[in-house]
């Protein structure tokens, strides 16, 4: 298969970690007989320096025309004083809007080799934690009307939480499709005991469930879900939820895994063209030192293969290679523990490539 990938190296550690992910993709292409073509895209601080704009129109066009986008990270102290509209993060918002992505998908997985890094008790971690949160990204309360008025001599603030059936349906479909590619269990999280928007959410999810008889749908109230994520996270496979609930739950879920450098993410819309990036930022404090953990970006590339390119075997091969390197005791500084062998960013990439094989 031939795929065209837009590559945004970005700022800080971005170029270092993306380089390792591309080397891994090249090895996968060699083993499985694929061709991955890469188009470099400037976005973030480096684009401000070069073009005076965090995401020039022609750069966005390259992303929209690609089969998917791989992003390192953007931003840094140097651009903190530029006007709001020209900030590196604006490039990211414009990219998401331009690509029409409306879901953000974050796995919460504890690698058994790193179980000690989790703040959860060992008996909870030992049950195995491997789920994914599908979060609606461009609707709900963050995008509703916000206003502050005077009423009866005091200020009153209002934020509107609105969802249409079609907005719920399109994110619901991503939830069901994601579950189909995993263990076929979908948990819809809402607050239907209080909110109308949640009652509509639940009704649409159940209507959709009829089209996905192979996926088992369950419902959970968001307050219970927040508890269950720390009490019994092994019960989850895929969680689908609205924007604000997803924002909060996905941060909670990333904390239980214990290491920010390991977590990939994807953003998807109506087409198969997705945006894939690690959840961490540009880590300017360690940029250029060859000590960053490239695994979050490498696993983002694996997600791209699984969810956008329909290459599950290739995605499994990358995840198995990461696991094998961790089994051998190799760690970057951020996940280092006693008795392990510390390696840099390039070395970690090389080790993962050395473990890649066709099953």
In the annotation, is 285 catalytic?
A: no
**Could you tell me if 306 and 181 are in contact, meaning their C-beta atoms sit under 8 angstroms apart?**
yes
Instruction: Considering only residues 240 through 259, tell me which ones interact with ligand NAD, judged by CB under 6 A.
Output: none
Residue 92 C-beta: closest distance to ligand NAD, Å: 6
What token pair was written down for 288? 């250029």
Instruction: Considering only residues 313 through 342, tell me which ones interact with ligand NAD, judged by CB under 6 A.
Output: 334
Q: Say how far apart CA 150 and CA 169 lie, in whole Å.
A: 37
Q: What is the DSSP string of 24-70?
A: HHHHHHHHHT-EEEEEE---SHHHHHHHSSSS-HHHHHHHHTSSEEE
Site string for ligand NAD, 47-86 (x = CB under 6 A): --------------------------xxxx----------
Residue 217 touches ligand NAD, criterion: CB under 6 A: no
Residue 282 touches ligand NAD, criterion: CB under 6 A: yes
Exposed e or buried b per residue across 61-96, where buried means at least 16 C-beta atoms within 10 angstroms of its C-beta: ebbeebbbbbbbbbbbeebeeeeeeebbebbbebbb
Binding-site size, ligand NAD (CB under 6 A):
22
Secondary structure letter of residue 152 according to DSSP:
T
Residue 235: burial class (beta carbons within 10 Å; 0-12, 13-18, 19+): middle
In the annotation, is 327 catalytic?
A: no
Residue 281 C-beta: closest distance to ligand NAD, Å: 3
In the annotation, is 142 catalytic?
A: yes
In the annotation, is 223 catalytic?
A: yes
Secondary structure letter of residue 356 according to DSSP:
-
Q: Say how far apart CA 357 and CA 355 lie, in whole Å.
A: 6
Site string for ligand NAD, 260-279 (x = CB under 6 A): xx---------------x--
Considering only the stretches 22-30, 184-192, 291-299, 316-324, report the one whose residues sit in contact with ligand NAD under the rule CB under 6 A.
Answer: 291-299
Instruction: Considering only residues 147 through 186, tell me which ones interact with ligand NAD, judged by CB under 6 A.
Output: none
Residue 280 touches ligand NAD, criterion: CB under 6 A: yes
List active site positions: 142, 191, 223, 247, 251
Chain positions contacting ligand NAD, by CB under 6 A:
13, 17, 73-76, 89, 92, 260-261, 277, 280-286, 292-293, 296, 334
């Amino acid at each position: 298969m031939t795929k065209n990938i837009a590559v945004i190296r970005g700022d800080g550690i971005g170029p270092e970690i993306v380089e390792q992910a591309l080397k891994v993709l090249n090895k996968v292409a060699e083993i499985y007989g694929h061709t991955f073509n890469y188009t470099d895209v400037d976005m973030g601080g480096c684009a401000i320096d070069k073009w005076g704009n965090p995401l020039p129109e022609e750069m966005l066009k390259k992303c929209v025309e690609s089969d998917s986008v791989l992003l390192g990270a953007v931003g840094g102290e140097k651009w903190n004083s530029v006007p709001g509209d020209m900030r590196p993060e604006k490039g990211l918002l414009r990219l998401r809007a331009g690509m029409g992505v409306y879901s953000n998908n974050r796995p919460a997985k504890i690698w058994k080799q790193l179980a000690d890094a989790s703040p959860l008790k060992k008996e909870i971690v030992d049950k195995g934690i491997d789920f994914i949160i599908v979060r609606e990204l461009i609707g709900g309360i963050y995008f509703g009307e916000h206003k502050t008025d005077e009423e009866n001599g005091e200020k009153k603030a209002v934020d509107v939480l609105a969802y249409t059936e079609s907005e719920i349906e399109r994110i619901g479909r991503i939830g069901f499709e994601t579950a189909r590619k995993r263990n076929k269990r979908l948990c819809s999280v809402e607050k239907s005991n209080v909110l109308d928007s949640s009652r509509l959410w639940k009704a649409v999810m159940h209507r959709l469930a009829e089209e996905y008889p192979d996926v088992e749908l369950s419902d959970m109230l968001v307050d219970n879900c927040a508890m269950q994520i720390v009490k019994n996270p092994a019960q989850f496979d895929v969680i689908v939820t609205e924007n604000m609930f997803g924002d909060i739950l996905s941060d909670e879920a990333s904390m239980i895994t214990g290491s920010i450098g390991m977590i990939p993410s994807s953003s998807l819309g109506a087409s198969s063209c997705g945006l894939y990036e690690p959840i961490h930022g540009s880590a300017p404090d360690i940029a250029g030192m060859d000590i960053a953990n490239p695994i979050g970006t490498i696993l983002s590339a694996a997600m791209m293969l699984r969810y956008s390119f329909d290459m599950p075997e290739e995605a499994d091969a990358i995840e198995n290679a990461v696991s094998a390197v961790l089994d051998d005791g190799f760690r970057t500084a951020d996940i280092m523990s006693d008795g392990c062998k510390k390696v840099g960013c390039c070395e970690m990439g090389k080790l993962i490539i050395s473990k890649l094989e066709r099953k």
